[in-house]
Structure 1
Amino acid sequence: MFPGKLQFAFIAGISAALGSVFGKLSGSPELLEVVPKLFIYADTQNLDLIEYLIFIVQGICFALMIFCNASVWSFYVRALQSSNSSLPATVVSTATNYIVSAIFGIILFGEATGFLWWTGTCLVIIGLALISNGAKSAAKTD
């Protein structure tokens, strides 16, 4: 998929975006509305049960956030080990994280990303790519 086994950097970027999603869900007041709908059989009049279910779901989201963040570092280190330079792994991981985070934000949380946000994201990714190519050029001339 990616040259030099940069698929590990791609997975690290996705894991970072998922870690952000689960982190947001673990402390999100929106769970107060969603959790009772998830458990159809829960008695919506029993506030203790609903609070307990919310606590359980938040705990699961928190654990998933920790797991995703640990997998980010695991896959990122693998990407660094499999490439000649840290720059390609950084570019792929960062670009994937930005784009996937935006997609999750739009789909899951109804966040709005405008032209300015996408322009800034593209400029950051282009800047990282230019740095990466500049480092390759400098390494070839040495």
Structure 2
Amino acid sequence: MTGYRPRKTTVATRKRNATASPASRGAAISTAILAGTFAALASVFAKLTLDVRTVEFLRYACNTVLAPTTPYCTSLFIAKEGETSPIVLAVRTACFGLIFICNAAMWTLFTKALNRSKSSATVTVINSAANFCLTAVLGYALFSEPLALQWWFGASLIVLGSVLVSLNETNNASKQKSE
């Protein structure tokens, strides 16, 4: 077997890829947002896998769905001292598996967004912004994690820096195109 030879693309294929339509750019943006959503969900499932508050979260969810006065929910999560309830173990195992599923979905969607967009920086900015914001909101809603002003300031700086890189990349691409 001889060495690796990259596949050659035709001039028409390169021109078609260079001039992305507004519809494909919109699809790239929505796909990047969805990729960021799956990244945020992966972090939620990681927290549910490892956090000690998972039992309280499950109790609350069970009591909300069934009835607040039903002792059935409490009996599901009671185990002997030092042991873990089989229900809690099953939920944690499912959450562990969902981490990998969400990460696989995120990478698949992120790759599709990169293929649909002219600018990889734009896709990265949108993916990161969606991931930051949804992780913060889900952490606050599900785990009562505080959202300090310092956290929002830091996340904003990261997104702003990514936007500046994206704008620089877009300006350089348009300069090269006009030459």
TM-score by length of 1: 0.89
Q: 2:100 aligns with which of 50, 54, 66?
A: 66
Match of 2:153 in 1: 119
Match of 1:32 in 2: 55
Question: What SS is found at the alignment partner of 2:85?
Answer: helix
Native 8 Å contact 1:22 1:62 kept in 2: yes
Structure-2 separation of matches of 1:127 and 1:139? 18
Residues 141, 35 of structure 1: alpha-carbon distance in 2 compared, 3 angstrom cutoff: closer
Asked whether 1:133 is paired with 2:156, we answer no
Question: What SS is found at the alignment partner of 1:47?
Answer: coil
Match of 1:47 in 2: 79
Where is the helix percentage greater, Structure 1 or Structure 2? Answer: 1
Structure-1 separation of matches of 2:76 and 2:115? 52
Residues 140, 104 of structure 1: alpha-carbon distance in 2 compared, 3 angstrom cutoff: same
Any gaps of 5 or more consecutive residues in structure 1?
none
Native 8 Å contact 1:21 1:104 kept in 2: yes
- Which structure has the larger Rg over C-alpha atoms? 2
Structure-1 separation of matches of 2:77 and 2:50? 23
Structure-2 separation of matches of 1:50 and 1:17? 27
Native 8 Å contact 1:16 1:69 kept in 2: yes
Aligned length: 141
1:69-111 deviation per Cα after TM superposition (whole angstroms, max 9, x unaligned): 1100010000000001211110000000000000011111111
Native 8 Å contact 2:34 2:109 kept in 1: yes
Native 8 Å contact 2:76 2:85 kept in 1: no
Match of 2:144 in 1: 110
1:40-96 deviation per Cα after TM superposition (whole angstroms, max 9, x unaligned): 525359526961011011011111111111100010000000001211110000000
Residues 3, 112 of structure 1: alpha-carbon distance in 2 compared, 3 angstrom cutoff: farther
User: What is the RMSD computed on CA atoms of the aligned residues?
Assistant: 2.2
Structure-1 separation of matches of 2:84 and 2:117? 49
Moved more, 46-55 or 99-108: 46-55
Structure-1 separation of matches of 2:112 and 2:43? 21
Any gaps of 5 or more consecutive residues in structure 2?
1-22, 64-69
Structure-2 separation of matches of 1:23 and 1:132? 30
Match of 1:17 in 2: 40
CA shift, 1:120, in A, is 1.1
Match of 1:56 in 2: 90
